[in-house]
Amino acid sequence: MWDKWISQIQQGDVRALARAISLAENDSTGLLETLAQVAIPAKPVIGITGPPGAGKSTLTDALIGALIAEGKSVAVLCVDPSSPFHQGAVLGDRIRMSEWYTHPNVYIRSLATRGALGGLHPRILEITDLVKCFPADCILVETVGVGQSEVEVAGLADRTVVVLVPEAGDEIQTMKAGLLEIADLFVVNKSDRPDAARFQSHLERMVREDRTDGITIPIISTVATEKKGIEEVVTTLKELLRSPGQQEREDLLMMEKAKHLLREHWLRKLDAGKMKASLREAMQSENFNLYAWVSRYAD
């Protein structure tokens, strides 16, 4: 069944893509096995992450505009882990990216995380690969950086844009370890706000101190609402995509993906019904030990 979906997606069938994503969200039985047989085209996946409200969707909207102007086609996935109200997320992004929802060269899809702990959508890797099969030139993935999932976010994308805002002054200290580490490019958005210049130099200093590998991460200031700085973001992203990634980092990110898929493969093999019955029985025992019980499944 998945083969059929995928060949329709490869032919640019938007409705097949939409249905396949919905199906993958709910029940992806057989999808991993099918993807293992498919030549998934290599195409740039750009992650756009940052704190809630930083302007990620507005920036994404502006980036779509710049790419479309170059004659490119774009697929966009928006992952909203913060809102349990899927509909709310969809509506918000619909307003932000309204211009593009009906454009023939743009595909936009919002995904909720369905309560996955602070992270990404549990099927985001597979869904991204489904989207890769669709004939779009590049893929943008918007995710909220909330602390837990940074490496996952970075693992998903070929290059990651971290969007920060001038008022993030204090916030930036706490997310140092996470967001700062995964950035290939920083965007200081809302630079129409007071303190933008000061924030930028603060960030520059931090980034310099943080990285011991001598790599300078570019920092670009934007006003996404006015499309200021967008060209520079696009140009820099292109350069970043052309230059080879750091081997160490690529390994780490690929490992993250592999771990994610392994967990899924493995969990799928377990029979939840049998497990529950076995667990209930084990719990009757006076010296029930969850670790001992779990270790039975660990081989």
Tokens 């898929």, located at residue = 261
> Looking at beta carbons only, is 93 or 129 nearer to ligand GTP?
93
| 224 contact, one of Mg ion, ligand GTP, none, CB 5-8 Å limit per kind | ligand GTP
Whose Cβ is closer to ligand GTP: residue 89's or residue 125's?
A: 89
Asked whether the beta carbons of 146 and 44 are under 8 A apart, the reply is: no
185 Cβ contact partners less than 8 Å away, ≥ 6 residues apart: 159, 160, 161, 162, 217, 218, 219, 220, 233, 236, 237, 240
Residue 111 CB partners (closer than 8 Å, separation 6+): 21, 25, 77, 78, 79, 80, 121, 124, 127
Q: How far is the CB of 48 from Mg ion (least distance, A)?
A: 9
Query: Among residues 120, 190, 199, 200, which is the contact residue for ligand GTP, using CB under 6 A?
Result: 190
Q: How far is the CB of 93 from Mg ion (least distance, A)?
A: 6
Taking the complex as a whole, the smallest distance from the CB of residue 284 to ligand GTP amounts, in Å, to: 47
Secondary element (H or E) of residue 24: helix 14-26
User: For Mg ion, which residue of 8, 28, 49, 57 counts as binding (CB under 5 A)?
Assistant: 57
Residue listed under structure tokens 């995964």: 182
Give 95 or 290: the residue with its C-beta nearer to ligand GTP.
Answer: 95
Instruction: Answer yes or no whether residue 236 interacts with Mg ion by CB under 5 A.
Output: no
Q: Which is nearer to ligand GTP, 17 or 48 (CB)?
A: 48
Closest CA to 219 of 166, 167, 149: 166
Strand order in the sheet with 45-50: 106-112, 74-80, 138-144, 45-50, 159-164, 185-188, 219-221
Within 111-150, the residues that bind ligand GTP by CB under 6 A are 144
* Contact code string over 94-133 relative to Mg ion, x by CB under 5 A: ----------------------------------------
- Tell me which residues touch ligand GTP (CB under 6 A): 52-58, 96, 144, 189-190, 192, 223-225
